[in-house]
Amino acid sequence: MPFPPPPPPSGIANPQRRFTDLLRHGRFSFTERELMEHLRMTYRTIKQREADPSTLTIAEILRVADLLDEPIEALLAVIIAEVRAAATNKIP
C-alpha cells in the first residue's frame, strides 16, 4: 500500500493560502501597474497565472518571490498545494 506524501515543513505554507491571495491580499498592496511592471507581465497574463498557477514559469515565480519578499520555498509550497488541490477536484 503506498504511503501518502509527507506534509510540508511547518511554518512554510498554509494550505488555505492561494497564489492570488498572495498577490492581492498579502503583506503588501500593489496597483495593477506596479504588478505589471515588476513582474514584467501584461494584465491578461497576470490574471491567467492567478487563475492557473501551474502555468507560472520559474522566472515568474522568482520575480513574484522578490516582489512579495517571500522565501521561494514558501511561494512554491503555496503554488504546489493549489495545483494539487485543483488536480484532485477535476472530474475525469
Domain ranges of the chain: 31-86
Write down the pLDDT at residue 8: 53
Q: Which helix (H) or strand (E) element contains residue 52?
A: none
Q: Residues near 72 by Cβ (< 8 Å), separated by ≥ 6?
A: 61, 62, 65
Tell me the per-residue pLDDT of 52-83, one tens digit each, with 9 for 90 and over: 999 999 999 999 999 999 999 999 999 999 99
Residue 65 CB burial class (10 angstroms; 0-12, 13-18, ≥19): middle
Write down the pLDDT at residue 6: 54
